[in-house]
Structure 1
Amino acid sequence: MEKEIIIIGGGIIGLCTAYYLQKDGHKITVIDQSNMDSGASYVNAGYIIPSHFISMAAPGIITKGIKWMFNSESPFYVKPRLDADFLKWVLAFKKSATKERVEQSISALKNINLLSRDLYEDMKRSGDFNFHYERKGLLMCYKSNKVGEEEWEIGKRGIKEGLGVKHLSAKEVKVLEPKANLNIKGAVYYDCDGHMTPNHFMNDMTTYLKSKGVVFYTNEKVNELEVFNDKIVKVLTDKRTLIPDEVILTAGSWSPLITKKLGIKIPVQAGKGYGINVEQETKITIPTILCEAKVAVTPMDGFTRFAGTMEIAGINHNINPKRVNSIANAAQRYYNNLEITLEEKKTAECGLRPVSPDGIPYIGKSSKCKNLTIATGHAMMGWSLGPATGKLVSEIISDKKSSLDISCYHPDRKF
């Protein structure tokens, strides 16, 4: 049965959700408060990462976070503030950062990443799109033996989980990356990962959805949700009133501001990340994470992107030059002869990633509203998990058997 569906949020999660719902024959309207040409869905590293099956809320991160809190150039920076939602999120994060909780999350993260990778490849094969996609794996490069040992422990667990993982010496890395001139001790290599150029996909998908009749309202803000009998009966924006059968919330870091209108609290904090595009020839051909610096390097179509940092400091798009410099400086320490110019650093952009306390996304219907499906909280994996999330949401709406057990992603879960 065709349903009138309103999707609030036009980032990667919103567009992928619209893609699968229109395939099921529903009538889709996407509302976004921006012009849909910037933000986390455009600035990210473009990784599809089954290799990242360990939650961000891992043991030891609290200790590191306290140390990094006093360094605005650190990879993970939390700005202390007296805000009730922030303090509740910090407490939930602390509760999640245990060995037991991380162990429980491994299957949840690995399975949804593998599903998403397969769905990206299905889209590419469909002939409907022309976006850049490659599957060259991911190098986790390290400079110190201690970090190398830590990464290999994760790598060995990846092997147990059925992933292709190898521990490489610096010489073996050079065979894979002969011209990048890396200054490292070694790397853990995952052959399961892919990468893309995000703005290519976003533009391709938007064009495709419009050709299929999906309606877009951009630069439009949702002001109110009118509820009757635990159902949203009207979505009121600053320009119009819409009558939905179902509402999908894919508003990323802004999602809690929407759910508050319904008395629903979902713990999400905005995690700011930065990206620098380098158009000069870098000779980098394989996506690489510079482990000690937590910097992601991606060879995209026509440029190389250096991305990183997790800055939890509320919703804002202020560019902190110190954090941009820290990314550039780290890249230059790992790649001999690489120089990121002042002009390139000046073009750096940022995006806000919605971070859940346990590093697992929220996907599902809240028990407090019958026709609201929530899909947010993907943290640094939003790009990777776009298609899988969209597919799972479409299965919820269309009453189909779910591709995965989605109980672990439930938006009402307790911390």
Structure 2
Amino acid sequence: MGKSVLIVGGGIVGLSCAYYLHKEGHEVTVIDKSGMDGGASYVNAGYLTPSHIIPLASPGMMAKGIKWMFNSSSPFYMKPRLDDNFLRWAWAFNRSSTRAHVEKAIPLIREINVLSKDLYIQMHGSGELGDFHLEKKGLLMLYKTRKEGQHEKEVARRASDEGLEVTELTRNELDRLQPGLSPEIEGAVHYLCDAHTSPNEIMDRLKMYLRVQGVVILQDEEVIGFTRKNRRITGTLTSRATYTTDEVVLAGGAWTSGLLQNLGIKLLLQAGKGYRINVPRPLGIHLPAILMEAKVAVTPMRDFTRFAGTMEFSGINHRIRSERVEAIARAAQAYYTDLEIRADEKQAAKCGLRPVSPDGLPYIGKTSHLENLTIATGHAMMGWSLGPATGKLVSEVISDLPLSMPLDGFHPERRF
């Protein structure tokens, strides 16, 4: 028998939860405090990335954060601030940035990414959302320096050991695949296992499909609290009404930890701001790529090319730092010959807040505190890639079905 389920959060994770819960016969309502037309699910690079097997929390990352702390245009920026939640998160992030953690995380990240990519492909093949943009051209990792090249080749070898399709390219091989690259680029690693999409297109079609299927989607309505009795949530209070449902899913992205505080649950989570610039002109860029030294993502999407990047920890805000936008534009122009990003295109840049856990792995599953609460957040830079897998797993948890993969490594109450 189906349950009534309220999903808090209308990004790719929340909508994916709605998609799979509806398929299992549940009565689903999605609620979001925004107009559901912006944020991390709309400004990301659109990658489906089995290749991204290394978590953000890895050796050397905290040192980079400290080194770049006073450079607000750096790729990885932590704004100095005396905030208890941030300091506890930073301490846990540092403790997680070990080789042992990376080795433990790699198979988990690989498995959930492969599962999610397969689900995107199934969704595309079903025709339920129409013929949305999904291309399986892989992902180029472009490097200018021997240091970055050697590092990525080591990752590529590990990815190959994990069964992922990857190849190393010489400069001549690279030029045949993607003309117009800077002569400073030495070569690339090509992750053939990856794919790319146009996020806005999928988000709009997913919302339309869900509404047609009878899923209730409530926009511009903020959750302000909960009522509870014993070990169950009995009501979800919003700025407009109170909802009583059998199950509650918190998929509120960077805002999830704040929502959990209303329930007396502490979840270490920080907002990692990312930026994007869209260029709606033909640029001759055919393959998605990451510009290694600059940590900038380049994606040829439907009718435009997107340049995205940075991880900025400065709290929950949507302030656009012009120096960060300029850094993305400069990097792109340094890797592609004859590329110029115009002032109006930079002026139209947007940002989104990714929810980042201390160990770089998502939080998926129930807690010991409340038996009808499921958490789905903390995906860091892989939120878009992992949306469908998270939705599928959440639907299996709530429906008491066999899990597509074990969730122990993603448990919301794991220790750091």
- Separation in 1, partners of 2:343, 2:360: 34
Pair 1:194-2:195 in alignment? yes
Q: What TM-score results when the alignment is normalised by the length of structure 2?
A: 0.99
Name the residue aligned to 1:325: 326
Say which SS state the counterpart of residue 262 (structure 2) adopts: helix
In the other structure, the counterpart of 1:346 is 347
Give the TM-score normalised by structure 1.
0.99
For residue 122 of structure 2, what is the amino acid of its counterpart?
Answer: D
Report how far residue 127 of structure 1 moved.
Answer: 1.2
Q: Distance in 1 between matches of 2:281 and 2:24?
A: 44
Task: Tell me if structure 1 keeps the 8 A contact 2:181–2:335.
Answer: no
Q: Percent identity?
A: 56
CA drift of 1:165 comes to 1.2
Q: Please give the residue correspondences for 1:63-78 in structure 2 after superposition, counting only pairs within 5 Å.
A: 63-78=63-78
Q: For residues 161 and 95 of structure 1, what CA distance do their matches in structure 2 show?
A: 25
Distance in 2 separating the partners of 1:80 and 1:404? 38
Q: What is the distance in 2 between the residues matched to 1:156 and 1:145?
A: 16
Cα distance in 2 for partners of 1:404, 1:52 equals 18
Measured in 2, the distance between the counterparts of 1:178 and 1:223 equals: 52
Gaps of 5+ in 2: none
Report the Cα distance in structure 2 between the residues aligned to 1:406 and 1:414, rounded to whole angstroms. Answer: 14
Question: Matches of residues 198-209 of structure 1 in structure 2 within 5 Å?
Answer: 198-209=199-210
1:70-111 CA-partner distances (Å, limit 9, x unpaired):
211100000011111110000000000000011000011010
Equivalent residue, structure 2, for 1:281: 282
Q: Does 1:227 align with 2:231?
A: no
* CA deviation map 1:225-265 (0-9, x unaligned): 10001100001101011101000000000000100001111
Q: Equivalent residue for 2:307?
A: 306
**1:287-313 CA-partner distances (Å, limit 9, x unpaired):** 100000000000000000000000000
SS at match of 2:155: helix
**Consecutive aligned runs of 4 or more in structure 1 exceeding 2 Å deviation:** 178-183
Root-mean-square deviation (Å): 0.8
SS of corresponding position for 1:7: strand
In the aligned structure 2, how far is the partner of 1:371 from the partner of 1:307? 37
Kept in 2, the 8 Å contact 1:222–1:237? The answer is yes
Kept in 1, the 8 Å contact 2:182–2:334? The answer is no
Do the aligned residues in 2 keep the contact of 1:89 with 1:268 (CA within 8 Å)? yes
What does residue 48 of structure 1 align with?
Answer: 48
Given residue 334 of structure 1, which amino acid in structure 2 is its aligned partner?
Y
Question: 1:180·1:284 contact (CA, 8 Å) conserved in 2?
Answer: no
Match of 1:82 in 2: 82
Q: Quick one: distance in 2 between partners of 1:362 and 1:229?
A: 24
Contact 1:180 1:283 in 2 (8 A): no
Deviation (angstroms), 1:181: 5.8
Equivalences for residues 115-194 of structure 1 within 5 A: 115-130=115-130, 131-179=132-180, 183-194=184-195
How far the C-alpha of 1:182 sits from its partner, in A, is 6.5
Displacement of 1:175 after TM fit?
1.2
User: 2 CA distance for matches of 1:51 and 1:61?
Assistant: 19
Tell me the amino acid that sits aligned with residue 192 of structure 1: C
* 1:182/1:194 CA distance change after superposition, 3 Å: farther
1:362-394 CA-partner distances (Å, limit 9, x unpaired): 000011111000000000000000000000000
Instruction: Tell me if structure 1 keeps the 8 A contact 2:6–2:28.
Output: yes
Matched, 1:99 2:96: no
CA distance in 1, matches of 2:57, 2:28: 35
Distance in 1 (alpha carbons) for counterparts of 2:216 and 2:55:
36
Partner AA of 2:112 in structure 1: I
Deviation of 1:178 after TM superposition, in Å, equals 2.9
Matched, 1:370 2:368: no
SS at match of 1:353: strand
- State the distance in 2 between where 1:74 and 1:162 align: 33
Aligned-partner Cα distance in 2 for 1:173–1:411: 42
1:279 deviates by 1.0
1:181–1:337 CA contact under 8 A, matched in 2: no
Distance 1:276 1:180 in 2: 19
Give the aligned residue type for 1:207: M
User: 1:160, 1:216 → 2: CA distance?
Assistant: 43
Deviation for aligned residue 1:164:
1.1
**Contact preservation (8 Å) 2:180, 2:336:** no
**What is the CA–CA distance in structure 1 between the aligned matches of 2:188 and 2:182, rounded to whole Å?**
14
User: Tell me, which stretches of 5 or more residues in structure 1 are unaligned?
Assistant: none
For 1:70, give the aligned amino acid. F
Distance 1:278 1:61 in 2: 31
**SS of aligned partner of 1:6:** strand
Alpha-carbon distance, 1:348 to partner: 0.2
Aligned residues: 415
